[in-house]
Every structure is written in structure tokens, then in C-alpha cells.
Structure 1
């Protein structure tokens, strides 16, 4: 946790996807200060005709390298979020050749009770993970 879902246009190699996931994880580690093994990433690839992402009138150019990242997370500060956006786009541009204009991020916030990592438990509530028992 956070849980990251990537929606991409089909056509990337396995190596390109691995790099995208690694770079995003590194940005998340720095911005959110989560443990290294706090890595939950799901990639969904779409035919070009099945992914239509415009720009809300902001004149942001999009290419076939577009990536939509939905981040489901516990509450984060505005500073953490904006730092993540910046770190992410800088690293994706430098290491993956993905322009900042091709990166869209959506944050979905939930609470500790909304997470079970397995075994039928809510580990944030039991105190087994990053927090006090509630």
C-alpha cells in the first residue's frame, strides 16, 4: 500500500514496463516514505481505441506513451502528493523517455479499515502494520 494501477496503451516491451514500475516505486518511496517492500502495482494494457484520455482543455499533448496511474492510499499531505507528481514525471522523463505531458495521476484516499493484506485481517487496525491498534 499504496496500490498503484497503471493503464497503458499496448505496445511496450516487458523491459519498458519493468522500468516504468521501478521508477514509479522509487518516486513513491521518496515522496511517501513507505517501506521498500510496500509495493503493489497492477498493469492494464489497452488497445489504442480503448483508452481515450484528453486534457480537460489544458492543451496537454498526448502520445502513445501515455500512462494513467491511479494511486489508492492512506491520507497523504498536499506536499507529499505534489512531491510525488514532480519526482515521478522527472524520473519517467529521464529514465523511460515518457514526457510529463503523457503522465496523469489520480489519488484515491481511504482509511486503515479499508486494507487487508491477507489472512482475513485488517493489519493497520491490529497494529501489525504501520500504526496503532484502533
Structure 2
């Protein structure tokens, strides 16, 4: 289970926004073996100048086409799995025209108790939903 927030500057077409979302989802399905139907994305467009993404001292610049991604998921995946996901997202976004330097990803984890998928029920905690990857670390 991944919940993804995607922030971009205004100016992309609806098809372009859909392509960004789909590229990120494809990377997640392939990299983390989440079900195709576990597709939870929130996309927000911002007026020009409302996204600031400097180089953090890494020596490269970003364009106004930066894609800021926040991934929220359950803890338990290895550092290697996370790095592979980041690389897959960058690769899939490159295929839809996003330069590597314009891909910025933040990653946050919590436990099964931190999710409700409707009606205010913590279905992982109650056992109504199986905890993804329980017993295995993709």
C-alpha cells in the first residue's frame, strides 16, 4: 500500500498529469509488488513560483517542471527496496518527459495501525484486511 501525493506547477495537460500519476504507479506496482488496484494518488497543481526545490548542495539545478512526490507507506521495506523504488520512479517519469533532476521524492512510513480505508475503520488492525507483505519484505 502506497499513498502518493504529487505536486507540480500549473501548465500540464490533463493527459500529462495522468501520465505522471500512471508512471509513478507502474514503478510502485513493479518495485513493491502492490496490487494494480491499490492506486491512491492526490495530484495538486500550484501557481508558478509556489514550489521551491533547490539543489540541496548537490550541484545541479531543477527546472520549473519539478515533480515533488510524497510517498506514504507501511514500514518494513529495506533501504535497498526504497532506493530501487526511487530509481524506478525516476525511470518511469523519464519515459514521460520528466528530467531526472526534476524528480524529488520524500518517503514516510508508519505501521498497519496508521491506515483507514473508509468508515473510520482500522481494517489492518482489525484483521479485515491482510497486512501487505506481512512476513516478507519486498
TM-score, normalised relative to structure 1: 0.92
Q: Which runs of 5+ in 1 are unaligned?
A: none
Q: 2:127 & 2:35 partners in 1: Cα distance?
A: 16
Instruction: Tell me which residue corresponds to 1:93.
Output: 94
1:26 equivalenced with 2:26 (yes/no): yes
Structure 1 stretches of 4+ with a deviation exceeding 3 A read: none
Deviations, residues 70-120 of structure 1 (Å, cap 9, x unaligned): 0011012212111111111111112x1101110000001111111000122
Q: 1:3 & 1:127 partners in 2: Cα distance?
A: 20
Q: Which runs of 5+ in 2 are unaligned?
A: none
Deviations, residues 20-56 of structure 1 (Å, cap 9, x unaligned): 1111001001111111111110011111211111011
Q: Secondary structure at the match of 1:22?
A: helix
Aligned residues: 131
Q: Secondary structure at the match of 2:49?
A: helix
CA RMSD of aligned residues (A): 1.2
Q: 1:82 & 1:103 partners in 2: Cα distance?
A: 13
TM-score, normalised relative to structure 2: 0.90
